[in-house]
Amino acid sequence: AAAGAGWAAVCEKFRNARTLSAVESRKDPETEPYRSKYSARALLQEVKQLLSVAEEDDGAQLRAVRQAVLEYELGVNHTDTEELSAGEEHLQRCTQLLEPHRLSPDCVSLYILAQNNLGILWSERGEIKTAQTCLESAETLYYQYMKEDGNPPVDPSEHFMAEEEKLTDQERSKRFEKAYTHTLYYLAQVYQHLEMTEKAAQYCHTTLKRQLEYCGYNPVEWALNAASLSQYYLSKQCFMESRHCLAAANVIFSQAGQVPSAEDNEAEQNQHDLRQRKAEIARCWIKYCLNLLQSAQKLLEDNIGELDPDRQVELKAQRKKDEDVTEKIRKKAVLFGTSDICDSVLAMEEKVSSTYPLDFQEAREIFLVGQNYVQEAKEFFQVDDYATDHTEIVQDHSALFKVLAFFEEDYERRCKMHKRRVDMLEPIYAALNPQYYLLVSRQLQFELAETYYEMMDLKVAIGNRLEELDSHTIKKINSLAQLAIKYYELFLDSLRNPDKVFPEELEEDVLRPAMVAKFHIARLYGKLITPDLKKQLENMQTSLEYYTFLVEYCEKYPDAVRAVETELELSKEMVGLLPTRMERLRAKMYSFI
């Protein structure tokens, strides 16, 4: 009886240590953040002392396991207080004690927990390969145990419990599976670090699935992880999987619910964080819609960037054939969650297609979904507080219009879509200080120039259909061309050094844009319409200078050729043709005198 009472006291000490560590430590003052952890450590050391002097009639394995539990608790305690070396020693000792018995139901759970913690510890030290070894050994052990035994194993805390307090099989199983889910979660991060992206995504997906299955997750965190996984699938052009992850992210995120708006700051901060996370998921949806539309454009466009009607007919027929088969096969691989969650996810998925849009109507539906998420994201990422994020969202909005214009057959309507882009980009560009936002400023200058250039081309095409150009159309063409020139020149000026000198040799990242800008300016001067012959001659001269720049630059730096092959060909041609045209124009002028 005395021994029994002694053992009860040992168990009581152990339980107190765990309560101090898990519960009391949350209330520790900032001045002594680890007070409860240190008290817990002292109790664990006492338990260790008592064990070593206790009557040893319990058998070697049980003794080893109890010692291992204490080493594990001490290991976690030391890592919690940022004493990594001591933490590592305790955890290593724990795995050494368990090594011979690691496959027994008494030990397997603890062994996996210890390896998980060693994995985290090595990751924090930047020793990713060592972390990988620990975590993979935990993974292997899980598989081996499930194959050879498979019964719910004992939870480490039970080694210091009276018989009547022991856990049910269901609870044991839940805790064991949770430990293994953590193994997979940390492995996903390790593979990400080692740039094994495919494997990382696979493990992330399994982790998310298991978290839903065993109901062990924080909805906001889960939704963010699912949304970032969707971006991996996007990069692989797996739109169905990407959409599934995003739909699941929306459904699970809604479980986070509205935080009651209490007066205190914490609730306010929570509210703010929730709104930010929701906006981040919205941004992932924007990328989804944009990527799906852009990929469809790549499939449908001919060599001058227009929609190829034959290709369209072919792809529509192909789609009809493939539809039924692939959907069923691939659905199985990715589905998240239990039936009630599945239904909500399916309903969310039905709001937007995951197959390539092949005509304007289909493209417009995806565009509208994307545009809704743009509004949602902009509500949180407002320009005053989040200039960079806000600008990126507006650029995505503009890109949505650009790709929708590709599907639009009517030139006038297409022009209006580009006008919408200009209207959203110009105020943003005007508000940014180029000193602080050089890169974004350049992107906006270039995109505005391209958009005006596109509009000018469309107006020329519309004008070509008329019997003769009326003064209104001429004015429109000229003003669009001037605006395009203005923004291309601003972009080129941004490349000059503080003394306003244009670089001798262009940096790799701006080489193509700078060359395209020069080439387009040359073309634009050729498009300006004026009855004044002297002005015509000046425009031709300017045009020639820009074409010549391209040709001479590529002669001087042959490496640049591959960046601008098409533009270079045309520039060479124009450098050959323009002087003759100018001669003819001069002759015409002098004949008037």
Is residue 339's pLDDT more than 80?
no
The CA–CA distances, whole Å, from 56 to 15, 62, 67, 104 equal 22, 10, 13, 21
The CA–CA distances, whole Å, from 438 to 492, 507, 558 equal 12, 15, 28
Considering the domain boundaries, does residue 434 fall inside one? yes
Closest to 153 (Cα-Cα) out of 115, 111, 183: 111
Closest to 293 (Cα-Cα) out of 356, 230, 239: 356
* pLDDT of res. 260: 47
Q: Which neighbouring-strand residues pair with 301? A: 307
Same domain, 457 and 577: yes
Contact 77, 44 (CB under 8 A): yes
Is residue 538's pLDDT more than 80?
yes
Closest to 230 (Cα-Cα) out of 293, 297, 286: 286
Structural domain count, the chain: 2
* pLDDT of res. 27: 85
Q: From the CB of residue 527, how many other CB atoms can be counted at a distance below 10 Å?
A: 19
Same domain, 314 and 447: no
Q: Kindly indicate the confidence band of residue 1, based on its pLDDT and cuts at 50, 70 and 90.
A: very low
Is residue 328's pLDDT more than 80?
no
Q: Kindly indicate the confidence band of residue 58, based on its pLDDT and cuts at 50, 70 and 90.
A: low
Q: What are phi and psi of 301, to 5 degrees?
A: -85, 150
* pLDDT of res. 192: 92
pLDDT digits (tens, 9 = 90+) for 223-282: 999 999 999 999 999 999 999 999 999 999 998 865 444 445 667 778 889 999 999 999
Over the chain, what is the mean pLDDT? 90
pTM of the model: 0.84
Look at residues 409, 442, 466 and tell me which one is the last residue of a structural domain.
409
Residue with the bigger pLDDT between 467 and 127: it is 127
Same domain, 455 and 555: yes
The Cα 147–Cα 170 span in angstroms is 19
Contact 370, 289 (CB under 8 A): yes
Look at residues 409, 443, 459 and tell me which one is the last residue of a structural domain.
409
* pLDDT of res. 262: 44
Same domain, 330 and 398: yes
Considering the domain boundaries, does residue 204 fall inside one? no
Same domain, 248 and 334: yes
Q: Quick one: what percent of the chain has pLDDT higher than 70?
A: 94
Owner of token pair 């397997």: 108
In single-letter form, the type of residue at position 253 comes to: F
Quick one: average pLDDT of 574-592?
89
* pLDDT of res. 484: 97
pLDDT digits (tens, 9 = 90+) for 292-309: 999 999 999 998 888 999
Same domain, 369 and 481: no
* pLDDT of res. 259: 45
Considering the domain boundaries, does residue 8 fall inside one? no
* pLDDT of res. 261: 45
Considering the domain boundaries, does residue 499 fall inside one? yes
pLDDT digits (tens, 9 = 90+) for 395-430: 999 999 999 999 999 999 999 999 999 999 999 999
Same domain, 441 and 475: yes
* pLDDT of res. 382: 93
Quick one: average pLDDT of 87-97?
94
* pLDDT of res. 276: 95
Q: What is the DSSP letter of 302?
A: -
Q: What are phi and psi of 307, to 5 degrees?
A: -75, 125
Residue with the bigger pLDDT between 150 and 58: it is 150
* pLDDT of res. 295: 96
Same domain, 348 and 495: no
Considering the domain boundaries, does residue 192 fall inside one? no
Is residue 362's pLDDT more than 70?
yes
Closest to 106 (Cα-Cα) out of 156, 63, 143, 140: 156
Is residue 143's pLDDT more than 60?
yes
Contact 277, 223 (CB under 8 A): yes
Same domain, 294 and 378: yes
Look at residues 343, 378, 409 and tell me which one is the last residue of a structural domain.
409
Is residue 465's pLDDT more than 50?
yes
Considering the domain boundaries, does residue 114 fall inside one? no
Is residue 543's pLDDT more than 70?
yes
Q: Kindly indicate the confidence band of residue 169, based on its pLDDT and cuts at 50, 70 and 90.
A: very high
* pLDDT of res. 311: 92
Is residue 504's pLDDT more than 80?
yes
Same domain, 403 and 449: no
Find the DSSP H helices in 335-386: 339-349, 360-380
Considering the domain boundaries, does residue 70 fall inside one? no
Quick one: average pLDDT of 140-162?
92
Same domain, 300 and 382: yes
Is residue 59's pLDDT more than 90?
no
Is residue 2's pLDDT more than 60?
no
* pLDDT of res. 68: 94
Q: From the centroid of its chain, how far is CA 42?
A: 45
314: domain range?
Answer: 239-257+271-409
What spatial distance separates the first Cα and last Cα of the chain, rounded to whole Å?
A: 128
Same domain, 389 and 466: no
Contact 345, 247 (CB under 8 A): yes
Considering the domain boundaries, does residue 467 fall inside one? yes
